[in-house]
Each structure stands twice: as structure tokens, then as C-alpha cells.
Amino acid sequence: MKGCAHNKNILDIFLITDIKVNMVIPENVIVKNLSWDELQRLFSQKLEFPINMKKSYKLCDFKPMYGLIFEDIIEKYDFWGYCDVDIIFGDLKKYFTPNILDKFDVLTFREFIISGAFTILKNNEYTKTLFKKSPNLEYVISSEEYVSFDESGNKRVMCRKRIPAYDLLYIDNLVCWTSIIQKEDDNGNLKLYARDYLKESLPFNSCLIYSNGEIKLTPSDEFIGYHMVTEKRNPEFIIPSWKKVDDTFYITPTGFYNKKSNFNFLITRYRKIRGKYFRLKKRISDSINYRFKFIK
């Protein structure tokens, strides 16, 4: 919310949820309450296909369809897009300059695939229905499991080698969102802006600094945001329940700190030991469960 508030002049976030939000939120974060059943009915109506999602993570496959599904919400905007909720935004106006916004149709923040974490598209009928170019749409919508349609299917490893996703259909036979947009870009139908400006992992002993809306690793190494996708899985990564978030705070591989002090080293050591303990505990538990089931 701190990152969203700093970007109130460039960004509106619509938080569509069945959870009651009991916190003070910035004016550019708009909560839309929908139940799970209401959401699925809306999906079915807009996509003209019966929707019966069992798992909420399946929503990720529908991200490329949000422009059409939520077209009533986005009608007054020049751009629409989607992002994950575990992102802290940096200073977006440095990246969404008038020149960039005029020149490009799709802006995404991974170089080799379309990012499911943060992607922005020009708001027009073309981008809102672009997902329909996949011949696998019925499979994507009806599959109970997440198939990574919003990114690259099972082609991520080969895409890292800068091979276009549309040349890798032999891997999973899925025309994914990355395949569609890369093909449209190569054919000259749209202009794609793809940069690795979203920080998604922290090297050992590194420290991100959030200060007055900017996220930096060094004074000259700035990012559009920090995505907690990697570190949040680690037991030593602590996300505190601060009552007030200061204008400056620090993020390391062991979590968040509101200031630097002589005690940071001790706190970091404690968190690392704590993480090792929980990893060992889980390893022992998994081993016992595995052997128990194996014997049974």
C-alpha cells in the first residue's frame, strides 16, 4: 500500500476480493468486493464459457482476459493491466514516461517472457481480446489446474535462451500469452517493451532500500518494484506487522527492517538460525511421513 500511495498520480489499483479489507488504504486503491461465486459468474458471462474454478490460483491463467472481463471498470483508462499482490512498487513515473507510453502497446517486466507479476497494455479492443488468438483457449479455461497460460506454459527454461515461445510449441503444444504477444510483436502488429526492471530475488547479503518511493540496490541500481516471489518462501524471511510504514525501510534476504543499527547483524543471524531450524524440522517431518506411507 505504501508503494501504491506513492504512485497515486499515475496508477489506480482495483483490488477485487471476497476478503473484507480492514486497513487504511490509499485513495488510488479501490476495493471491489465480489464473492467467489459472483466472480465465476462474471467470468462465464464475459467469456461465454462455463467457469467452475476449484482453486483460486487458477485465476492466474485468466490474467490476459482481465481486460475483457473487467472492461466496465477500465473503460475510462488509457491502459489496463494486472499485477501480483506481493509487489512493492517503486517510482513508476520513471518507467512509464510519456515517450514510452506513446510508443509501446505492451509493457512487461521480464525480458524473455510476458510477466504474470506485472504487465500493462494499451486499453483498446485489440489488447482486450488478444488472448483469443490462442487455439487452446477452451483447454485453458476448462482445466482445473493452472497451466501458466498467462506466462509461457512449460517453455520457461528454453525461453530464457531467448528462443521465442511460439517456436517451442513442441514442448507443451500450448499457444500461451507469451507466444501470442511475441508473435504479434515480430509480425509488426504491436510494439512490446520487455525489461528486467522488477527485482524478484535478493543475492546473499544484499539490501534493497525503499526510500521516498524509490527502490534501489545501489545508488545507481534502481527497480520498478520488488516482487517477494522468491524470498517469501524462506522461513527466515520475516514480514513484520508494522503499524506505520516509514518513508525509508530496508529489505534483505532475511526480511524487512525499519532502520539500520548495530543490532541488525544479530537479528540477521537469529533469523538465519531460525530458518535453518524450520527447514530441518520440515525435512524430518517430510521424511517420517514419506517412510510411514511407504511402509503402509
Confidence of residue 275 (pLDDT cuts 50, 70, 90): confident
Mean pLDDT of 219-246: 92
How many C-beta neighbours within 10 Å does residue 57 have?
10
pTM: 0.87
**Taking the CA of residue 295 as centre, how many other CA atoms within 13 Å lie in the half-sphere pointing to its CB?**
5
What whole-number distance in Å separates Cα of residue 141 and Cα of residue 84? 20
AA letter at 8:
K
* 154: region left, alpha or beta (phi > 0 left; psi from -120 to 50 alpha): alpha
Same domain, 166 and 180: yes
Please name which of 62, 98, 108 lies closest in space to residue 78, comparing C-alpha atoms.
98
Residues for the chain: how many in total? 296
269 pLDDT exceeds 90? no
Same domain, 224 and 118: no
Strands 198-199, 225-227: pairing is: parallel
Domain count, the chain: 2
237 pLDDT exceeds 60? yes
Which pLDDT does position 46 carry in this prediction? 97
Cα distances from 20 to residues 23, 32, 34, 35, 53, in angstroms, run 9, 10, 10, 11, 21
In terms of pLDDT, which residue wins out, 279 or 165? 165
What whole-number distance in Å separates Cα of residue 210 and Cα of residue 213? 6
**Taking the CA of residue 292 as centre, how many other CA atoms within 13 Å lie in the half-sphere pointing to its CB?**
6
State which residues form the domain around 277: 199-295
Last residue of a domain, one of 196, 218, 251: 196
Same domain, 180 and 223: no
Same domain, 203 and 189: no
